Structure 1
Amino acid sequence: MRALVIQHDHVTDIGPVGARLVERGYRLSVVTVVPEHRHHAPDVAFDFPAVDGWDLIVSLGAPWSVYDEPAVGSWIGGELALLRKAHRLGVPVFGVCFGAQALTTALGGSVEASPHPEIGWVEIDTDDPALIGPGPWFQWHYDRCHLPPGAAGVARTSVCTQAFRLGRSLGVQFHPEMTTTTVRRYLELGGTEECVRLGVDPEALLARTRELGSMARANARHLVDAFLDRVAGAAG
């Protein structure tokens, strides 16, 4: 089985989510949309692969917003078209943070700035703990989704929807792929200043991520299994 992984920048990788997909028999093909040297000027030209031949598409996070025309306007249309076609053909999509927001937009929903950011390890309210556990899950986002027609919200916080499903696809606002290494990269690439500005202790955030590492990997493993078995594997 072949999985296309859309990595929007050089910072966020697929981490334990990818590890579990490999254990479940998937061969991962990772494409990076914005190269490292264009991180602060992400309006690059990028040709997304065709949908044909993929058994799964994973769209990861990004530091931008899907509606940020100056940043992503040159390539977001291609990704939305890819996700829209995948959904129409019944190819499962797993969207993470920005990826969930792209999935929302592609299928007729919308994305807006949230009342306030969520940064750190957050417990969520879930209607289906066997699919989406309560966490805590890692969060680092400034936007929220208004779900597309027919989508079912599965989990939420007071700020926004945290998980939704539609057909054979699942979007999550949190980051099940997060590792200590990736959090450190976030902090080194301007995240420390963001945390301080928002009253979040960056060193405590990193220490908490390290402390929760084993639990986070187990939660990611469970989420991937539940997605593959109950959502991606559902009849069309």
Structure 2
Amino acid sequence: MRALIVRHEHVTEPGLVGDRLAEHGYRLTTVTVVPEPRHHAPDVPFDFPDAADWDLIVSLGAPWSVYDHAAVGSWIDGELALLRKAHHLGVPVLGVCFGAQALTTALGGSVEAAPRPEIGWTEIETDLPALVPPGPWFQWHYDRCVLPPGAVELARNAVCTQAFRVGRSLGVQFHPEITTAMVRGWLGLGGAEQCVRHGVDPHALLAHSRAMEADARANTRLLVDGFLEQVANTTA
């Protein structure tokens, strides 16, 4: 079984999500849209693979906004086409943060600025804790999804929809893939300054992430298992 991992920048990895998919027997192929030298100028040319060639697609997070074409350039249109075709073919998609927002946009929803950013570990209200545990989950986002037609909200908090299902796909606003190394990398790429601007102590955030490692892995295992069994409807 072949899983395509769309990594938008060089620091984020499949992480805990990739680990659990591999345990289910998936062979992961990771493509990186924006290479490290272009991180601050992400409008690069990129040709996305064909959705028909994969059994499952994971679209990870990104520090940009789906609707900011001036920043990301034309590659976002290629990703939206990939996710739209996957949906029409019945190829399951797991969209994470930016990936969930891209899935929303591809299927006729939209993305807007959230009333406030969320940075840190947050519990959520969930309708299906066996599929989407209440967390705490790691969050780092400034936008939120306006769900497409046919999507079903599965979890939420006061800021936004936190998880939704559409067809065989699942979108989550939080970061189930997160590892301490990724948090450290995001902080080093300007995230520490963002934290300070929004009243978050970056050193405390890193320490909290380290303390959450075991819980994060357990929650992500439940999420990935639930996604495969209850949403993607696969016996992988």
TM-score if structure 2 supplies the norm length?
0.98
Number of corresponding residues: 234
- Asked if the contact 2:42/2:73 (under 8 Å) is kept, the reply is no
Partner of 2:91: 91
Supply the distance in 2 between the matched residues of 1:102 and 1:33 (Cα, whole angstroms): 14
Gaps of 5+ in 2: none
- The reply to whether residue 228 of structure 1 matches residue 232 of structure 2 is no
- The reply to whether residue 217 of structure 1 matches residue 217 of structure 2 is yes
Q: Deviations over 1:45-68 (max 9, x none)?
A: 000001122000000000000001
Partner of 2:64: 64
- The reply to whether residue 196 of structure 1 matches residue 212 of structure 2 is no
Partner of 2:2: 2
- The residue identity in structure 1 corresponding to 2:159 is V
Partner of 1:170: 170
Paired residue secondary structure (1:78): helix
- The residue identity in structure 1 corresponding to 2:173 is Q
Q: Does 66-75 or 2-11 show the bigger shift? A: 66-75
Partner of 2:133: 133
Runs of 4+ in 1 over 2 A off after TM superposition: none
Equivalent pairs: percent with the same residue?
Answer: 74
Supply the distance in 2 between the matched residues of 1:28 and 1:139 (Cα, whole angstroms): 24
- The residue identity in structure 2 corresponding to 1:123 is E
Paired residue secondary structure (1:52): helix
Paired residue secondary structure (2:200): coil
Partner of 1:143: 143
Partner of 2:24: 24
Gaps of 5+ in 1: none
Partner of 1:46: 46
Report the Cα offset of residue 222 of structure 1: 0.9
- Asked if the contact 2:121/2:139 (under 8 Å) is kept, the reply is yes
TM-score if structure 1 supplies the norm length?
0.98
Supply the distance in 2 between the matched residues of 1:73 and 1:165 (Cα, whole angstroms): 28
